[in-house]
Amino acid sequence: MIIAAWIIVIVLFIIGMVGAVYPVLPGAVAIYAAYFVYGWMIGFEPFGVWFWLIQTTILVVLLIADYAVSAMGVKKFGGTKASVIGSTIGLILGPFVIPVAGLLIGPFLGAVIGELIIGTEWRQAMRAGVGALVGFFSGVVVKLLLQTLMIILFFVWVFLN
């Protein structure tokens, strides 16, 4: 039972880290779910109030930052709400339409199309697309760092408590 629990926990951690880059996977939620798998299959004893407060705070920050960082990238490059919405749609649909490359092309095209729909000139629409890519990459870095922190804290709590 313990081996199965650890396998599931590690698989959820891997899914979570891949989800930091590939937005159709649950990301931080998968990492958070791993704590419950560990608790249900092995025991909740290592986890106290501080563990749950810290991990939940990181999870909430990640969920908010995921959208905020991307939107900031678009706004920084002069994009409007239309390009923020377009880049979000592109980020979600891109990987399905064009596997792998859709991660980059989707947000870029979504932002550009969003700007063009509202009548923005071509050059500014392209800038918004670049902003969407900058926001995407910035978001990935933030997610990778915070999700790595979540996993490290888990191991610290499990092995040092």
Identify the pLDDT of residue 91: 86
**10 Å Cβ neighbour count for 159?**
8
Mean pLDDT of the chain: 93
The pLDDT value recorded for residue 112 is 96
> Would you list the DSSP string of 72-121?
HHHHHTT--HHHHHHHHHHHHHHHHHSTTTHHHHHHHHHHHHHHHHTT--
pLDDT at position 19 is 92
Please state the rounded mean pLDDT for residues 8-34. Answer: 94
* pLDDT confidence of residue 118: 96
Q: What is the largest CA-CA distance in the chain?
A: 61
- pLDDT classification of 9: cutoffs 50, 70, 90: very high
Signed CA dihedral, 126, 128, 131, 133: sign only: negative
Contact 91, 23 (CB under 8 A): yes
Query: Where residue 71 falls among pLDDT bands split at 50, 70, 90?
Result: confident
How many Cβ atoms are within 10 Å of 127's Cβ, its own excluded?
21
Distance between CA atoms of residues 123 and 60, nearest Å = 36
Nearby residues of 158 by Cβ (< 8 Å), 6 or more positions away: 38, 46
For 106-121, how does the pLDDT look when each residue is reduced to its tens digit (9 = 90+)? 999 999 999 999 999 9
Query: How many Å apart are CA 21 and CA 161, to the nearest integer?
Result: 32
Neighbouring residues of 136: CB distance < 8 A, sequence distance ≥ 6: 70, 73, 87, 91, 103, 104, 107
pTM over 0.85: yes
Question: In terms of Cα–Cα distance, which of 117, 157, 155, 148 is closest to 21?
Answer: 148
